[in-house]
């Protein structure tokens, strides 16, 4: 205990010993050898021993939350896009439907607003709290707890900016559609105007939030995060400029005094993204194309209209990294030179945040796991496939397909006679005869002995073309023609159990046999 605390001669704890090294920290034990991990006096020493394991668990939980939230953002974006037409059908352009229209709009944005609030809560109550605790431990015990640079705060910032971008794009589309509706009271048009004003104010606010995030020193240690935040800031600026032009056309001009970026700052930000893409071609390559699209949009800033779509921000590497954070493997905690913490088992190439020549996972299955199966399940299914399934283009498979088509054609035409018995089972012959029609029962009378002998003789000679040869009258047994199967040396296969159709026909015949025979006059 003396290694962790500074104590006086009486054993009173004065403060933490900042000169303690990790090799000096051991699990607390009594003089008799009993562990003291549950004693409050030695609790901090017990936690320092398991610090790496505790941090590993915290990183795993944060990674799972990051992966789920990233997927939820994509789901919400797709849902809003798919339900846009049905949403417009619920808008009624009449003066009595003002409250109903407002309720419809609020219901549409409720889920994505809840998702944004959840992201903010995770960032403030979980990610920031962990980062603050690690900072306090580093100040108190710098030789035991290194200076970690957790990037989860900025990752969650990026997710929030994506959510806001989706909300603003959807609100902009709704506002344009509401303005085009014919409402005599102009209630729907006023609602559309308010939504455009909301987009303008919200976009200006988030331009400032992005600037604040870029001011953090840890943002410069991750090229992918810095590039995406810069592009999101420019995207919000495009929202602000486009809505300003639209509001001016509608007779409600807004001064552009609140914009915090001038032309020089815009060019500098675009140049920074291009430079980051050159230095880190693996994780920032697709951002360069987005920066070019933004540069073209800013070149025509005065002609920006509501109909001109604002370029989206897409990067497969960032989405892949966020999904891999949810697959954090315990026991492989690693710290890079920049202080980023990650699992070397999950990110086996290098640090996902500061990697310069990053590549997506070579496993194509995992890239598409969100649409189909996860990696392990898909590989198990692939290994379980029979080897002959792979040779789909071989001549053998083609000939088998031709034979199968000819067999199906023979069954559909009911041509049992002349059909090869070696490729036909009893069920197939029975179904083909069922297609031809049920056996006719003459007036409820049981088949005569002559008829039975005829059926037995036909069974011995070969396959029968009628359905009467499949079932023996009143006995419920399958005929000899249905029992013969392909075998070696003329051997017959074991008898098969009668199907449900056969049992039904036998039962119907027994009912007919039990009925009294009626005398027909004139017969």
C-alpha 439/C-alpha 508 separation (Å) is: 11
DSSP string, 190-225: HHHHHHHHHHHHHHHHHHHHHHHHHTSGGGGG-HHH
C-alpha 20/C-alpha 3 separation (Å) is: 6
C-alpha 131/C-alpha 148 separation (Å) is: 8
pLDDT value, residue 463: 47
DSSP code of residue 125: I
Count of residues making up the chain? 523
3-state secondary structure labels for all residues of 275-341: HHHHHCHHHHHHHHHHHHHHHHHHHCHHHCCCCCCCCCCCCHHHHHHHHHHCCCCCCCEEECCCCCE
Cα torsion angle, 419, 420, 421, 426, sign: negative
- Residues linked to residue 478 through DSSP beta bridges, in sequence order: 471
C-alpha 455/C-alpha 32 separation (Å) is: 96
pLDDT value, residue 386: 47
- Residues linked to residue 334 through DSSP beta bridges, in sequence order: 342
Taking the chain (523 residues) in runs of 10, the rounded mean pLDDT of each run is: 65 69 69 69 74 91 94 93 92 86 92 96 94 89 86 95 95 90 84 91 93 91 92 92 84 64 84 88 83 84 61 84 90 89 88 66 44 54 50 44 47 42 58 59 49 52 45 43 45 60 76 60 43
pLDDT value, residue 518: 54
pLDDT value, residue 488: 46
- Among candidates 515, 474, 478, 522, which has minimal Cα distance to 499? 478
Name the pTM for this structure: 0.65
b/e code 193-229 from CB counts within 10 Å (16+ = b): bebbbbbbebbbebbebbbebbeeebbebbbbbbbbb
User: What 3-state class would DSSP assign to 15?
Assistant: strand
C-alpha 136/C-alpha 117 separation (Å) is: 27
Q: What share of the chain is helix, strand, coil (3-state, %, to 5)?
A: 60, 5, 35
pLDDT value, residue 162: 95
pLDDT value, residue 309: 77
Structure tokens given for 505 = 């026909």
Residue where the block lists tokens 């794009």: 169
């Amino acid at each position: 205990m003396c290694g962790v605390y500074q104590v006086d001669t009486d054993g009173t704890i004065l403060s933490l010993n900042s000169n303690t090294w990790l090799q000096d920290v051991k699990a607390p034990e009594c003089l008799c050898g009993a562990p003291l991990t549950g004693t409050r006096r030695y609790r901090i020493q017990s936690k320092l021993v398991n610090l790496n394991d505790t941090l590993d668990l915290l990183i795993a939980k944060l990674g799972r939350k990051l992966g789920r939230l990233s997927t939820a953002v994509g789901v919400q974006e797709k849902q809003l896009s798919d339900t846009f037409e049905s949403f417009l059908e619920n808008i009624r352009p009449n003066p009595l439907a003002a409250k109903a229209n407002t309720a419809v709009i609020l219901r549409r944005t409720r889920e994505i607003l809840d998702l944004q609030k959840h992201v903010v809560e995770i960032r403030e109550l979980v990610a920031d709290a962990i980062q603050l605790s690690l900072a306090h431990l580093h100040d108190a015990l710098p030789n035991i707890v290194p200076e970690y640079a957790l990037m989860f705060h900025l990752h969650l910032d990026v997710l929030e900016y994506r959510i806001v971008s989706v909300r603003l794009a959807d609100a902009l589309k709704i506002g344009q559609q509401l303005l085009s509706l014919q409402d005599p009271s102009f209630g729907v048009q006023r609602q559309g105007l308010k939504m455009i004003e909301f987009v303008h104010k919200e976009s200006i606010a988030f331009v400032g939030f992005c600037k604040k995030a870029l001011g953090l020193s840890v943002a410069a240690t991750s090229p992918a995060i810095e590039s995406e935040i810069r592009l999101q800031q420019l995207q919000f600026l495009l929202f602000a400029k486009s809505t300003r032009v639209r509001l001016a056309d509608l007779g409600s001009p807004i001064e552009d005094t609140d914009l915090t970026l001038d032309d020089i700052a815009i060019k500098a930000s675009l140049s920074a993204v291009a430079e980051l893409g050159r230095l880190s071609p693996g994780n920032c390559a697709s951002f360069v194309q987005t920066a070019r699209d933004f540069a073209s949009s800013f070149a025509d800033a005065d002609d920006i209209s509501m109909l001109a779509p604002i370029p989206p921000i897409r990067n497969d590497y960032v989405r892949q990294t966020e999904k891999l954070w949810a697959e954090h493997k315990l026991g492989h905690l690693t710290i890079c030179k920049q202080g980023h913490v990650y699992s070397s088992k999950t990110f086996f190439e290098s640090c996902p945040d500061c990697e310069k020549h990053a590549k997506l996972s070579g496993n194509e299955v995992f890239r598409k796991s969100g649409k189909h199966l996860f990696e392990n399940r898909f590989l198990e299914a692939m290994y379980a496939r029979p080897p002959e399934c792979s040779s789909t283009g071989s001549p053998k498979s083609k000939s088998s397909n031709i034979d199968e088509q000819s067999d199906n054609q023979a069954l559909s035409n009911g041509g049992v006679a002349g059909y090869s018995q070696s490729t036909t089972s009893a069920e197939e012959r029975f179904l083909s005869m069922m297609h031809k029609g049920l056996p006719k029962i003459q007036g409820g009378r049981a088949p005569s002995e002559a008829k039975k002998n005829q059926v037995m003789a036909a069974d011995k000679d070969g396959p029968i073309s009628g359905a009467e040869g499949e079932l023996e009258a009143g006995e419920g047994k399958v005929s000899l023609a249905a029992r013969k199967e392909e075998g070696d040396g003329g051997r017959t296969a074991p008898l098969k159990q009668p199907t449900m159709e056969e049992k039904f026909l036998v039962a119907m015949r027994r009912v007919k046999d039990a009925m009294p025979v009626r005398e027909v006059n004139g017969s």
